[in-house]
């Protein structure tokens, strides 16, 4: 009975999202204030219905309701509780429901968090979000109903894919999807502005915090995915330029460009049409990512089993969304003239180049990701485009971007007088060059020019980003959160550059075969297999190895990598043992029983890998600081004050 | 031409030139660094011409996995149900590597034997490498799980 209720809740949510779209868009267009007011009620109704559906599906998982097909396929009576809940988004149907739930949550946040916005504009934004919810709910109900019954009920479930039985599953998809879906808010604001015919600096100020929030989630989501992929053997490490990884990276690149171009639009009223286009492209790319991942058209390590009908539906939806938004754009583009000029060394130019380089980088990634598909459609030999293509082309766009970043943060708006900072910029460059060179030549050895470039650029960005906050503190000036946030985020970029340089240049990785009490030396560390023993888990049996890691005869740590064999699907999963020593990961995974008492193992020494996770956290933190800047709240308070007064009088 | 316009012209020309150069370099990188993807029938048909590394996709032939006891070296055959290619690999195999399941390996062909330097696994046990799905017998489509 309960699963049917869940299905019914989804149907109601579909109707409500349709009403939300209609009241929002038509109410604003025909000036019906009661319709406009009804939009928010539809939003509230929709979130209640979607939350009910999610709750019922979680309940079905937790109570082992194997009469629900999705639960029977992705759970089992021996599955631990954490994974029974996380299994909700462990496969296609449930992850769509998660998408819908998050979209409803973002919509609710917009409805609650934008009281100061003009009612009509707000209704239009909510209306566009309603249209998107409608599309996804229709998709779910038509092709991927998570509440479908299994008759007769299965005696036990087929279990969650063992590879997904990892803490990574609990955090990575929800955070990444929050970012993906958050871009829908930027998209809705852009569409709302175009419908309204009002694309001014106010609009940019309203959009900015939402876009920054979505970007921060996307940053964290991608990093969590990268971390999960890093410690899972056979997924190609922390970044493999795999289509599924690219699908999440492309919206991120565009969202990064968008938050920078929004800054120009807010401060100077420039780049309006470009900003609108970026908002449209950003969300379109996140939809396309869903299409690529879900339709199985691309060869990927992270592929799920494919279903062509689903692919076709998402493709049609994608066409409607992009086509509709671009038509709107073509209609409104003539309104988007701006005549303000700026100097070549002004902040505007630096941000312009930032945008061009980010979009070029995104285009090269897109080209490489779609090339196999295009070649296949044209009947050419099947291609597979991997790191050898992506690495150099991406670096080509990134190196100038990073250099411009170190200089551009000091440029003022409009006039762009850099004179007061010339000394600081040059000084930090020299210091970074000396430090970078010293690190590469001294600490690690080897003298590849890329390693020196990376270390120098990373250090330069960090030092250069510190100049302005330090200067403000020294002169006892205020340090607004926006300025602080910018510095923190850019320091995060520098940290990532340093980390990538270190990890890419100095990682040692080797597969070794060890018998009991045998030792292998990898990257200056000795790995000794002390023994193996059988271990029983809640739904698996495992072999656990005891590996002693020492350096120069001194024991550093003992690691316990496991090889788990899951009972239901009879599938294996290697759980690596990792020890972090001053930012360097000592990593050992237990492979197969090679016979003759020996085991295959993969040992890795990855210097600076911790910084690779720290950098994105700093970036997201910077975004968080920036979006809580006072001016967004001031604007709200100013606008609410008269409204509240008016309310009292009435 | 006003100074304002001249500046804008230079800016636009600079952007066009920059994007053009970037596109050219990306295309060059693409031509040199693209990895081809084949299935065993392609190899049988002589589509692999040079000794460049490529990706080979197919199913791990049932009963073909062999090890020398105590050594990291493993041999198996990749099949598309029409032709098969023997593969050697030295190292740790990924979790989803199993007889009768899909696999994608990267490496070179030498003397009829594919020497792999990377073996990739998939998230999903029902996964079939591209181009194989159409040729597989119905029993194999059910997957091993």
Min Cα–Cα distance to chain B from A344, Å? 8
Phi, psi for A487 (deg, rounded to 5): -65, -45
The model's confidence at residue A156, banded by pLDDT at 50, 70 and 90, is very high
A294 has a pLDDT exceeding 80: no
- What's residue B139's pLDDT? 40
CB-nearest to B92 from A367, A389, A602 is A602
Q: At residue A144, does pLDDT exceed 70? A: yes
Tell me what pLDDT residue A377 has. 75
What pLDDT is attached to residue B141? 37
Q: What is the pLDDT of residue A605?
A: 94
For residue A543, what is the DSSP state? Answer: E
Give the per-residue pLDDT at A40.
92
Q: Over the stretch A447-464, which tens digit does the pLDDT of each residue have?
A: 688 899 999 999 999 999
- Indicate whether A94 pLDDT > 70: yes
What distance in Å separates the CA atoms of residue B77 and residue A449, rounded to the nearest whole number?
42
Residues of B in contact with A161 (CB under 8 A): 123-125
Q: Which of residues 266-325 of A touch B (CB under 8 A)?
A: 299, 301-305
In this structure, of A228-242, A393-407, A573-587, the range with the lowest mean pLDDT score is A228-242
End-to-end CA distance of chain A: 47
pLDDT value for A143: 86
φ, ψ of residue A68 in degrees (nearest 5): -95, 125
Residues from chain B that touch A594, judged by Cβ atoms under 8 A, are 67, 69-72
Q: Which residue has the tokens 């690495």?
A: A391
Q: What is the pLDDT of residues A367-385, one digit of tens each?
A: 888 888 787 777 666 777 8
- For the cut 70, the answer to whether the pLDDT of residue A390 exceeds it is yes
Q: Is residue A354 predicted with pLDDT exceeding 50?
A: yes
Nearest 5°: the CA angle A198, A202, A207 is 95
Strands (DSSP E) found in A127-239: none
**pLDDT at residue A26, as a whole number:** 95
Confidence of residue A104 (pLDDT cuts 50, 70, 90): very high
Round to whole Å and give the CA distance between A393 and A384.
Answer: 16
Query: Which pLDDT band holds residue A131 (cuts at 50, 70, 90)?
Result: very high
Say what the pLDDT of residue A339 is: 64
- Segment among A293-302, A609-618, B66-75 with least mean pLDDT: A293-302
Measured between CA atoms, the residue of chain B closest to residue A298 is B130
Per-residue pLDDT at B144 exceeds 70: no
Residue A485 burial by Cβ neighbours in a 10 Å radius (0-12, 13-18, 19+): buried
* Secondary structure of residue A594 in the 3-state scheme: strand
Asked if pLDDT for residue A298 goes beyond 70, the answer is no
Overall average pLDDT of the A222-247 stretch: 87
Q: Per-residue pLDDT for A222 more than 50?
A: yes
CA distance A561 to A547: 8
pLDDT of residue A297: 61
Cα–Cα distance, A351 to A191 (Å, whole number):
23
pLDDT band at residue B12 under the 50/70/90 scheme? confident
Cross-strand pairs, B109: B114
Q: Do B26 and A235 touch (CB under 8 A)?
A: no
pLDDT bucket at A116, cuts 50 / 70 / 90: confident
Confidence of residue B1 (pLDDT cuts 50, 70, 90): low
Tokens representing residue A323 in the block = 């086509």
| Cβ(A487)–Cβ(A465) below 8 Å | yes
CA nearest neighbour of A179 among A272, A250, A79: A250
- Across A110-132, average pLDDT: 93
Contact between B124 and A161 using a beta-carbon 8 Å cutoff: yes
Under 8 Å between Cβ of A101 and A37: no
Residue A647 burial by CB count (10 A; 0-12/13-18/19+): exposed, middle or buried? Answer: exposed
CA atoms within 13 A on the CB side of A595: 9
Q: Which residues of A touch B19 (CB under 8 A)?
A: 356, 360
Whether the predicted pLDDT of B142 surpasses 60: no
Across B44-48, average pLDDT = 84
Which of B15, B104, B145 is nearest residue A569 as measured by Cβ atoms?
A: B145
DSSP B78-139: EE-SS-EEEEEEESPPPTT--TTSEEEEEEEEETTEEEEEEEE--S-TT---TTTTTTS-HH
Q: Which residue has the higher pLDDT, A338 or A171?
A: A171
Interface A-B, measured as beta-carbon pairs within 8 A, has a size of 155
Residue A649 confidence (pLDDT): 38
pLDDT at A562: 94
The answer to whether the CB atoms of A571 and B125 lie below 8 A apart is yes
**Which structure tokens are listed for A200?**
């001014």
- Binary contact (B70, A382; C-beta < 8 A): no
Task: Give yes or no for residue B124 having a pLDDT over 60.
Answer: no
Q: For position A615, what pLDDT does the model report?
A: 97
Q: Are residues A592 and B93, on separate chains, in Cβ contact within 8 Å?
A: yes
Residues of B in contact with A159 (CB under 8 A): none
**Range in A72-86, A224-238, A520-534, A554-568 with the lowest mean pLDDT:** A224-238
Is the pLDDT assigned to residue A638 strictly greater than 90? no
Mutation for testing the B interface, residue in A381, A390, A593, A603 having most B CBs under 10 Å: A381
Closest residue in B to A592 (Cα–Cα)? B92
Q: Is the pLDDT of residue A519 over 70?
A: yes
The strand pairing partners of B84, in sequence order, are: B79
For the cut 90, the answer to whether the pLDDT of residue A304 exceeds it is no
Q: What is the mean pLDDT of residues A13-42?
A: 94
Average pLDDT value over all residues in chain A:
89
Chain A residues touching B37 at Cβ < 8 A: 299, 372, 381-384
For residue A306, what pLDDT band results from cuts at 50, 70 and 90?
low
More confident residue, A76 or A377: A76
Q: Give the pLDDT confidence score for residue A449 in this predicted structure.
A: 82
CA distances to A40, A120, A122, A185, A438 from A642, rounded to whole Å, are 21, 17, 18, 27, 61
Rounded-to-integer distance, Cα A540 and Cα A534, Å: 11
Let me know: does A399 contact B57? Beta carbons within 8 Å.
no
Percent of chain A with pLDDT over 90: 65
Which of A10-24, A486-500, A560-574 comes out lowest in average pLDDT? A560-574
CB contact under 8 A, A360 and B19: yes
pLDDT (0 to 100) of residue A650:
36
Residue A581 has φ and ψ, to the nearest 5°, of -125, 105
Q: Do A96 and A173 contact (CB within 8 A), yes or no? A: no
Which pLDDT band holds residue A643 (cuts at 50, 70, 90)? very low
A517 vs chain B: nearest CA distance in angstroms? 14
Neighbours of A456 (CB within 10 A): 27
Distances (CA, A) of B120 to A78, B55, B62, B94, B98: 29, 10, 18, 7, 12
* Burial degree of A66 (CB within 10 A; 0-12, 13-18, 19+): buried
Whole-prediction pTM value?
Answer: 0.91
Highest mean pLDDT among A303-307, A487-491, B104-108: A487-491
């Amino acid at each position: 009975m309960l699963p049917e209720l869940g299905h019914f809740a989804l149907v109601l949510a579909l109707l409500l999202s349709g009403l939300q779209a209609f009241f929002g868009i038509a109410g604003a267009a025909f000036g019906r204030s009661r319709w406009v007011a009804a939009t928010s009620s539809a939003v509230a109704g929709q979130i209640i219905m979607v939350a009910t559906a999610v709750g019922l599906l979680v309940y079905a998982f937790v109570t082992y309701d194997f009469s629900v097909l999705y639960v029977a396929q992705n759970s089992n009576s021996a599955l631990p509780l954490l994974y029974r809940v996380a299994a909700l988004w462990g496969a296609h149907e449930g992850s769509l429901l998660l998408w819908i739930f998050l979209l409803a949550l973002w919509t609710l946040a917009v409805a609650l968090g934008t009281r100061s916005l003009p009612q009509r504009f707000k209704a239009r934004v909510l209306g566009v979000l309603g249209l998107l919810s409608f599309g996804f709910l229709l998709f779910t109900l038509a092709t991927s109903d998570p509440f479908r019954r299994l008759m007769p009920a299965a005696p036990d479930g087929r279990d969650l894919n063992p590879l997904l039985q990892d803490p990574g599953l609990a955090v990575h998809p929800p955070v990444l999807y929050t970012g993906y879906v958050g871009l829908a808010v930027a998209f809705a604001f852009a569409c709302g502005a175009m419908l309204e015919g009002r694309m001014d600096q106010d609009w940019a100020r309203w959009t900015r915090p939402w876009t920054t929030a979505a970007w921060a989630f996307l940053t964290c989501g991608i990093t969590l995915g990268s971390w999960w992929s890093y410690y899972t053997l056979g997924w190609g490490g922390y970044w493999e330029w795999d289509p599924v990884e690219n699908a999440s990276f492309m919206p991120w690149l565009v969202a990064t460009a968008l938050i920078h171009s929004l800054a120009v639009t807010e401060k100077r009223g420039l780049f309006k049409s470009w900003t609108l286009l970026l908002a449209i492209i950003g969300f379109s790319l996140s939809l396309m990512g869903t299409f690529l991942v879900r339709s199985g058209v691309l060869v990927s390590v992270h592929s799920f089993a494919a279903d062509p009908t689903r692919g076709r539906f998402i493709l049609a939806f994608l066409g409607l969304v992009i086509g509709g938004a671009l038509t709107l754009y073509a209609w409104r583009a003539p309104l988007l003239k701006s005549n303000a000029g700026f100097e070549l060394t002004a902040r505007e130019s630096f941000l312009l180049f930032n945008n061009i380089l980010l979009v070029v980088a995104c285009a090269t990634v897109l080209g490489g990701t779609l090339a196999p598909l295009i070649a296949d459609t044209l009947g050419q030999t099947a291609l597979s485009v991997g790191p050898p293509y992506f690495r150099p082309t991406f670096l080509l766009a990134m190196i100038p971007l990073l250099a411009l970043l170190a200089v551009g943060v000091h440029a003022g708006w409009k006039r762009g007088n850099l004179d007061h900072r010339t000394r600081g910029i040059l000084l930090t460059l020299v210091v970074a060059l000396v430090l970078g060179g010293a690190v590469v030549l001294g600490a690690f050895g080897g003298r590849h020019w890329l390693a020196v470039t990376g270390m120098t650029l990373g250090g330069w960005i960090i030092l250069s980003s510190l100049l302005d906050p330090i200067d403000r503190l020294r002169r006892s000036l205020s340090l607004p959160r926006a300025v602080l946030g910018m510095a923190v985020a850019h320091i995060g970029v520098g940290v990532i550059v340093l980390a990538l340089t270190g990890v890419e240049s100095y990682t040692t990785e080797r597969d070794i075969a060890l018998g009991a009490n045998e030792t292998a030396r990898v990257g200056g560390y000795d790995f000794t297999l002390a023994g193996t023993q059988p271990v029983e888990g809640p739904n698996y049996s495992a072999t656990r190895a005891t590996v002693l890691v020492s350096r120069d005869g001194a024991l550093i740590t003992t690691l316990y990598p496991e090889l788990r064999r899951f009972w239901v699907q009879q599938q294996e999963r290697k759980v690596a043992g990792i020890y972090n020593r001053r930012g360097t990961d000592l990593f050992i995974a237990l492979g197969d029983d090679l016979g003759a008492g020996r085991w295959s193992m993969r040992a890795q020494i990855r210097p600076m890998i911790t910084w690779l996770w720290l950098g994105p956290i700093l970036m997201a933190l910077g975004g968080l600081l920036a979006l809580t800047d006072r001016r967004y709240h001031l604007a709200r308070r100013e606008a609410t004050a008269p409204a509240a007064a008016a309310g009292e009088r009435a | 031409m006003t100074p304002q316009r001249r500046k804008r012209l230079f800016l636009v020309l600079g952007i066009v030139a920059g994007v053009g150069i970037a596109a050219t370099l990306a295309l060059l990188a693409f031509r040199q660094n693209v990895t081809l993807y084949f299935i065993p029938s392609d190899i049988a048909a002589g589509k692999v011409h040079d000794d460049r590394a490529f990706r080979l996709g197919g199913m791990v032939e049932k009963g073909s996995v062999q090890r020398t006891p105590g050594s990291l070296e493993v041999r198996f055959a990749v099949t598309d149900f029409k032709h098969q290619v023997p593969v050697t690999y030295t190292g740790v195999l990924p979790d989803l590597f199993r007889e009768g399941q899909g696999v994608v390996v990267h490496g070179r062909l030498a003397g009829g034997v594919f020497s792999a330097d990377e073996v990739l696994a998939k998230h999903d046990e029902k996964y079939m490498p591209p181009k194989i799905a159409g040729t597989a017998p119905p029993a194999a489509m059910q997957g091993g799980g």
